[in-house]
Amino acid sequence: MSEASAFRTLDDADVANKRVLVRVDLNVPVDNGKVTDDTRIQAVLPTIREISEKGGKVILLAHFGRPKGEDPTLSLAPIAGEVASRLGKPVAFAPATIGPVAEAAVAKLQPGDVLLLENTRFDKREEKNDSDFVAALAGLGDLYVNDAFATAHRAHASTEGLAHKLPAYAGRCMQEEIEALAKALEKPERPVLAVVGGAKVSSKLELLGNLVAKVDILVIGGGMANTFLAAQGKDVGKSLCEHDLAGTAREILEKAKAAGCEVVLPVDALAATEFKANAPHRVASVDDIKADEMMLDAGPASAANVVAKLKTARTVVWNGPFGAFELPPFDTATVAVAKAAAELTDAGKLLSVAGGGDTVAALNHAGVADHFTYVSTAGGAFLEWLEGKALPGVEALRR
Ligand code: 3PG
Ligand code: MG
């Protein structure tokens, strides 16, 4: 029995003429007002279209960023247009999540119409899964569809609470994510190699500790690798580094050793004194970083090392880039490793699964996202799923 049959899906929902609250993840990367990667928007279009075509009134709920209260810079207003242009039909926007303004916007909907409500996190009760806030949201709809796998690791009002208050269903994106991840990673062929990159160890501490018990090779990249290098007594100069986490980094290395997990850290870097595109830089050993330098990408020996490890693996799971991939040439290591993983996948030698906003953007940038076995819209949720944790947003949809 497939994992997804454990959930009610849109197949079970009668949406015609109903007000359908659809939780989506529209937390897309935006630079200077422009959406730089629309993977998450594309991913929820099938659910929106299906409900709309079946005559449901689609009311989209989403968060954007991590506002502390109302914050005009984190309004979803511009995102309504981004969804509309891809959907090929208008998406109304209400500058409120609950209350009279939201209610009036919902009341105007005809069957098939689509409305986006303001950032759910403008109300601090959202993240507290507050029952009054859940009730206010539930009052706007007849049914609830959760299509936000990428936010399913949060037990918030719009991701978890609502599922207990209204008849609840998994949307098509949610359904596909659960099915695809289960199929690819339920019993992964070994060796399993995990690449974990990105800026901060602190945000992925628990994950790293749990992963070393699950995977055979753990490649640590990006800014968080610097914390490990510093913990080994290396001078990382002005590199991004959480020096106060040295002890924790050493504990993770110990844990890996005990679990028989090989940890791979960078041996060289592209070092620069300025954080900008095309900043003058040099290839430097991690033992030779100058006081005023920053490691902005893994160096060529490090990338080659990771590619060699990939060739020994049967499964790779990837979250987080190796360097500041948005600033060329500090995308070099990420692109090189991404291309190698894609080629091995095409050759049938590797099963490759990647997830996370930056990671997906990096794979798209490298032009290889289509060559991976599966690319998840989720970052944090994907990682928690990998750790074997129950995701509250998914659990709440079980039959
Ligand atoms: C994400 O971007 O990973 C999801 O949208 C969840 O966002 P959060 O980490 O701010 O909860
Ligand atoms: Mg995130």
DSSP 64-90: -S--SS--GGG-SHHHHHHHHHHHTS-
Per-residue pLDDT, 293:
98
∠ CA 58-63-69, nearest 5°, is: 125
Residue 347 parent element (H or E): none
Q: Which of 61, 63, 153 to mutate to test the pocket of ligand 1 (most atoms within 8 A of CB)?
A: 63
Strand order across the 19-23 sheet: 92-94, 114-117, 57-61, 19-23, 143-146, 168-170
| Cα–Cα distance for residue pair 204/209, rounded to 1 Å | 9
Per-residue pLDDT, 175:
96
63 in a labelled binding site: yes
CATH T-level topology, domain 188-387: Rossmann fold (3.40.50)
Instruction: Assess whether the region 10-172 and the region 188-387 belong to the same CATH fold.
Output: yes
Residues in the chain: 399
* CA of 25, closest atom in ligand 1: 5
Residue spans of the domains in the chain: they are: 10-172, 188-387
356 in a labelled binding site: yes
Residue 128 tokens read as 């507290």
| Cα–Cα distance for residue pair 225/299, rounded to 1 Å | 13
Where the chain has pLDDT below 50, the residues are 1
Task: Name the residue at shortest CA distance from atom 9 of ligand 1.
Answer: 380
- Cβ-count burial of 327 within 10 angstroms (0-12 exposed, 13-18 middle, 19+ buried)? middle
Buried b (16+ CB within 10 A) or exposed e, 71-110: eeebbbeebbebbbebbeeebbbbeebbeeebeebbeebe
Name which of 295, 118, 318, 293 is nearest 220 in CA terms.
318
Do the Cβ atoms of 167 and 143 come closer than 8 Å? Answer: yes
Per-residue pLDDT, 4:
54
| Cα–Cα distance for residue pair 39/377, rounded to 1 Å | 7
| Cα–Cα distance for residue pair 61/82, rounded to 1 Å | 15
| Cα–Cα distance for residue pair 178/273, rounded to 1 Å | 43
Q: Which of 154, 385, 386, 391 to mutate to test the pocket of ligand 1 (most atoms within 8 A of CB)?
A: 154
Per-residue pLDDT, 1:
38
* CA of 378, closest atom in ligand 1: 3
326 in a labelled binding site: yes
Per-residue pLDDT, 383:
85
**Cβ neighbours of residue 55 under 8 Å, at least 6 residues apart?**
15, 16, 17, 111, 112
pTM for this predicted structure: 0.86
CATH class (in words) of the domain with range 10-172? alpha beta
Span 336-366, pLDDT tens digits: 999 999 999 999 999 999 998 789 889 999 9
Residue 67 tokens read as 């506002």
Span 240-261, pLDDT tens digits: 999 999 999 999 999 999 999 9
60 in a labelled binding site: no
Residue 124 tokens read as 């601090």
Q: Which ligand is nearest to the CA of 320?
A: 2
| Residue 191: cis peptide before it, omega within 30 degrees of 0 | yes
Residues with CB under 6 A from ligand 1: 25, 27, 66, 150-151, 154, 357, 379-380
Show which residues are catalytic. Answer: 40, 200, 357, 380
Per-residue pLDDT, 50:
98
231 Rama sector, left if φ>0, alpha if ψ -120 to 50, beta otherwise? alpha
Environment of ion ligand 2 (residues, CB < 5 A): 379-380
Helix%, strand%, coil% for the chain, nearest 5: 40, 20, 40
Distance 14 CA to ligand 2 centre (A): 33
